[in-house]
Chain A
Amino acid sequence: MNGHVKKMHFQQFLETAAKLLYFLLLLAVDSKRSVAASRNHQCGKDLQMTLSLTKLVRKETAALTKEYIASQGEGFQQGFCKASVSGIPDPNISGLEPSERIASIYTQLQAFLSHLKHVQEQQGNLQPLKSPLLVDLSNVMERSKMLALRVKAFYSRLFPNLPLPEPAGGPTTLPPPQTIFQQKVYGCVVLTTYKKFLMNISICRERTTLKSKVCGTRRPKKCDDLL
């Protein structure tokens, strides 16, 4: 056996090893893709459920706002709801990264829940005991809690190693004691701002961004496809 023959055997060995490595790489990539696809599918499903729930809360909040205005007496006008009241959370979502934005949504939801609870207490004193407004207000609060839980779960699933940050300004600051009219205006401003906040979550841009960046799926052709 001469050196030429030995060289040929070595080359054959290298070719076989290369093929084997190639197949192993393909297998690994494919496996990773499958896992990613499965994870993206679940992410998309969670996102879809979260957005659908957001839409439901927004719908109920819009109906509640109308009912709230109608229940505050004849002199109460919709224009009062545009008044500036200090301490009410910003309806805009902060943050650049998806994780920050989702965390912002969760934090603001918690803040709004505190205000909604305050409004519920105030209206409990102003409205009859079995007023439909109180029932609907209670339902919106309950549904908002669900939304907060779902956002939290969604965040935890996406970012299991990133704990949700605490509110920046510490606990939510509630307004000082108010007159009845101030209470009415306050409640309306809270509901209106909350509706805007929910609208901001549901806007197409936010949804598509979350869909594409977070869950890694292709952009949907229409925004409605997300819901």
Chain B
Amino acid sequence: MVCERALQLFGLACVASVLQAGYENNNHVVIAPQDPVIEIGTNFTATCVIIDTAEVTADDLYWKLSQTVIPKELYTKINSSALNVTVLITNEKPEWLFCHSKKSSHYISMNNGRFIHGIWLKKSYRPESPKNLSCEALQEGKLISTTISCKWEAVGRHTEDAPRTYTAFLKMYIKDETLNVSTPKNSVQVNVGLYPNYFPLEFWVQSHTLLGTLESEHLIKEANCFVKTNPPLDVRAISEAGFPTSLLVNWTNPIDESYVKLKYKIRFCPIGSQIWSYVPPEDTINPTKPFRLQVLQPYTVYVIQVAAKPVGTKDEPDCGYWSNWSSNKTARTPEDRPSSPPDLWKTVDSNSHDVQLLCKDPEFANGNITAFNMRMKYSKNGNLEQERISVNADRGSNQKMASLLKKISLEGKEFVNVCVSAVNSAGKSPETCLAIKRNPNDREPTVKEINIWPRNGQLFVEWKHNSTCVFEYVIEWVGNGEMDWQRENKTTRQTAIKGALERFVCYKVSVYPIYRKDKGIGKPASKEAFLEQGAPLNGPSVKSESEYDHVILTWDETPQHLRRGFITNYTIFYENEEVIKSVTVPANTTSYKLESLMGNTHYDVWIQASTIAGSTNGSRHSFVTQKYAPRMVVGIVVGVSFGFLFLVLLAFLFCIYKKDVIKENLWPQIPNPSESTIGNWSPDYPLKAETPKENCVSGVYVLDEGMCEVKHGFEEDKTSLSLKKDKYLSEEHSSGIGGSSCMSSPRQSVSDSDEGADMADTTASTVQYSSVVASSGYKGQTPIEQPQHSIFSRSESTQPLLDSEENPDMLVQEGGRAFHSPFTRSAENQETADPGSFKQMEVDQQDFCPIDEDTEWTPSDSQSANVEPGSVSSYRPQLGGYRPQNTPTE
């Protein structure tokens, strides 16, 4: 300890004496060491020495690293004029280390710069030895390149401010010369001139940092052991007839052997395969050319590649680098007779007993199969029969496609045993047999619990079967209209389907056991599966039958080829202008009743078909719910009907209870003409003696066509009419129209009775009774169209006129109602009329006849003019029009 302290003081004295000389006229504080390079991650100690001043002591000093004051704990006071600091260098960036004086005095203030001193700390990592040196000289034309590329693995760290550099050395023994190249990278290219074949080369690298240099191990090899040649040229593969399992391979050396002696490696694989087979290396160290590849498959195209590498020595067995593989060379081995039996299978037409026999080429066809020799043995009607046929294997270029051998019928056959062998140009294969029975063997247990799942782009099948009699299993799959199969041995319970399956196609996979006995086919187990499921291509199209508050939707099941997966469910979406709602229904549903809809509302509906992989919407369908529900219509109809019935009932009741009132209003009492005083009227009766009002006797009967009998009756019995005489007598004074002579005008009387569309009918069937007292009663009548069979009867009732007749206004009001009533007065008249009166009418007919059918009764002015002026005042105008006539009894 004492020794150490003494050494430190001695060193410090030396530093101080040296610094004193250098900084005598400058700084009063000086840091030692002056230009340090510090290893990152280590402690660095610096000393600040006070020179040539007593203004400050070591206690007045402090340290700063860049802008940070270093804590006092890291200081070590050497003496009153020297202060140490020790800091751990962790930062890679170079920085300043300052020594300051904190004391203030006039002198220090005036010479502030002399009391500060700083040093620039350079930082670096220690160099480390480069590892894994390697050099490579590539072939260039017929020679080896004059440039050697060398590289090494950089070890250790360096900083941006103090980067690591390398110096690569290449010693060429031939010239006793060492080439060197400096680089910051970890690779270098060295030009050696003419490549020194058969001379050693020595390569090594020095790594430099600020803290020193470290050298790598030396790589010494014969120059050819750095060579990487081009791949062999012109690789050829030759097949020899009679040697179906071998190919001759030849090639040209990439470089003359006098430069580099090469060894080779050969690899080959059947075309399309990615698994290479390598010729054992010991066979190709010094290969005899051409080299014979052996144990190949007959009639198989092989891809062959060759690579070269310098031959090593005993000292350096691993010499140089393998060249790249040569370009592919393909060749086909010659044909050989098929070494395995063909693959025989069948398809059965489910609708009949027809069986199609299919056959694939043998696994080891060893050539192009040209035909299949088939022999069949079957029991027909209890007799064993045999058949031999040869089928040309004409499948075009697709050798893997199955050939249809024959279509046979099992009708009448218990079983058919089929044995087939394949033939190529080199010979015939072993036979394979299959027994097809009309009724599969039921005694053996069936295959069960078949399970199928996709994985890594393949479909895997698993099944269970407890039978010891199984020879093998046939896995059959049918999808997209195509069928294929593969065979598995009897111990297999799980396998992957080897066929090229398509995505989004539903495959029905069946597992058939083939039993040892006669190669009989057992009952299969089947299941459907997809290699990969997708969203359906199309959603279903929907049809609707809409009602008031619900709709019945129907749609067709999505066709199999559009499903692309198992339909998990259908989702029905329906929307009106406000909301979208949805209902999910199971996959086996093809109709659904949407309820709680709003009436008279437009809806859009579509159905989404879903699989586990996605969903697809079908086309939109629109419908409008009905305005009324059927029960509403029924309700309305029933309500209206009941209302109508109620009204009718009311009217009926009204009629019943107010019978008298109605009768009084609608059917006023019509005086009986027979009792009328006018019956005693005679031409001699002084017209002027009676007022027109008193003489106005009118009555109107309106008869419809149904009353023709009545009219005829009138016509026939008009002779019995009592008014015959009167009419005759009053011929010159009566107009004869339906209106009463008391009417102010005939027109008025007609119009009153002419409401409604059946004016002609009513008028045609109208029988008017009018009391014509004087010819002046026709005055003012306007001509009107008269019905064809109108009969005008004149009442000669002696009964006094009704009040209504006396009150023309009242008659006008009630005339309309009277006209509409279905009067049958004519019948009554017919029954009640006095036959004598009819006779009288017949007499009157000659002068008082009805108007011709086609003649419009239009009283002319002359007629009016013929009316005596004095008669006008003798009758009161009959305003009531065609008033219904009461029964004569009244």
Interface residues of chain A, those whose CB is within 8 Å of chain B, are 45, 49-50, 52-53, 55-56, 58-60, 139, 142-143, 146, 149-150, 227
Contact = CB atoms under 8 A, between A and B. Distances in A.
A59 B198 contact: no
Given A45-B315, A49-B222, A56 B198 contact: yes
Contacts of A227: 261
A59 B199 contact: no
A198 to B, nearest CB: 11
B194 A139 contact: yes
Interface of B: 174, 193-194, 196-199, 222, 256, 258-259, 261, 313, 315
Contacts of B193: 142
Contacts of B199: 49, 53, 146, 150
B256 A59 contact: yes
22 contacts: A45-B315, A49-B198, A50-B198, A52-B197, A52-B198, A52-B261, A53-B197, A53-B199, A55-B258, A56-B197, A56-B198, A56-B258, A56-B259, A58-B258, A60-B258, A139-B194, A142-B193, A143-B194, A146-B199, A150-B174, A150-B198, A227-B261
A50 B261 CA distance: 14
Chain A at the B interface: mostly helix, strand, loop or mixed?
A: helix
Contacts of B174: 146, 149-150
A53 B198 contact: yes
Nearest to B173: A153
Contacts of A146: 174, 196, 199
A53 B224 CA distance: 12
A142 B194 contact: yes
A227 B222 CA distance: 14
A56 B259 CA distance: 6
Nearest to B200: A49
A184 to B, nearest CB: 25
A146 B196 CA distance: 8
Contacts of B256: 59
A167 to B, nearest CB: 23
Contacts of A45: 313, 315
B313 A59 contact: no
Given A45-B313, A150-B199, A59 B194 contact: no
Contacts of A150: 174, 198-199
B300 to A, nearest CB: 36
A59 B174 CA distance: 20
A139 B259 CA distance: 13
A203 B311 CA distance: 22
Contacts of A49: 198-199, 222
9 nearest A-B pairs in the assembled complex, by CB-CB distance? A59-B258, A53-B198, A56-B258, A49-B198, A142-B194, A52-B198, A146-B174, A55-B258, A139-B194
Contacts of A50: 198
Most central of A56, A142, A227 by chain B CB within 10 Å: A56
Contacts of B222: 49
B814 to A, nearest CB: 146
Chain B at the A interface: mostly helix, strand, loop or mixed?
A: loop
Nearest to A138: B194
Given A53-B198, A150-B198, 20 more contacts: A45-B315, A49-B198, A49-B199, A52-B197, A52-B198, A52-B261, A53-B199, A55-B258, A56-B198, A56-B258, A56-B259, A59-B256, A60-B258, A139-B194, A142-B194, A146-B196, A146-B199, A149-B174, A150-B199, A227-B261
Nearest to A51: B198
Nearest to A50: B198
B361 to A, nearest CB: 49
Contacts of A139: 194
Contacts of B198: 49-50, 52-53, 56, 150
A146 B261 CA distance: 19
B558 to A, nearest CB: 78
B253 to A, nearest CB: 13
A172 to B, nearest CB: 22
A53 B196 CA distance: 10
Nearest to A146: B174
A139 to B, nearest CB: 6
Contacts of B313: 45
Most central of B194, B258, B261 by chain A CB within 10 Å: B258
A31 B840 CA distance: 189
Contacts of A56: 197-198, 258-259
A53 B200 CA distance: 12
A139 B258 CA distance: 15
A76 to B, nearest CB: 24
A221 to B, nearest CB: 13
B686 to A, nearest CB: 173
Contacts of A143: 194
A58 B315 CA distance: 26
A143 to B, nearest CB: 7
Contacts of B194: 139, 142-143
A50 B200 CA distance: 12
Contacts of A55: 258
B883 to A, nearest CB: 149
Contacts of A59: 256, 258
B299 to A, nearest CB: 39
A45 to B, nearest CB: 7
A52 B198 CA distance: 7
Nearest to A60: B258
A200 B265 CA distance: 34
A227 B258 CA distance: 9
Nearest to B176: A149
Contacts of A52: 197-198, 258, 261
B606 to A, nearest CB: 82
Contacts of B258: 52, 55-56, 58-60
Most central of A49, A58, A149 by chain B CB within 10 Å: A49
A25 B256 CA distance: 50
A120 to B, nearest CB: 15
Contacts of B259: 56
A139 B315 CA distance: 29
B259 to A, nearest CB: 6
A138 to B, nearest CB: 8
A49 B260 CA distance: 11
Contacts of B197: 52-53, 56
A146 to B, nearest CB: 5
B352 to A, nearest CB: 78
A49 B258 CA distance: 11
A106 to B, nearest CB: 15
Nearest to A52: B198
Most central of A52, A55, A59 by chain B CB within 10 Å: A52
A155 to B, nearest CB: 16
Most central of B174, B193, B256, B261 by chain A CB within 10 Å: B174
A142 B193 CA distance: 10
A60 B259 CA distance: 10
A174 B256 CA distance: 34
A227 B198 CA distance: 11
A146 B259 CA distance: 14
Contacts of B315: 45
A113 to B, nearest CB: 15
A149 B174 CA distance: 7
A14 to B, nearest CB: 46
A66 to B, nearest CB: 14
Nearest to B196: A146
Nearest to B142: A63
B573 to A, nearest CB: 84
A162 to B, nearest CB: 21
A149 B194 CA distance: 15
A214 B261 CA distance: 24
A63 to B, nearest CB: 9
A227 B313 CA distance: 11
A55 B261 CA distance: 12
Nearest to A147: B198
Contacts of A53: 197-199
A53 B222 CA distance: 12
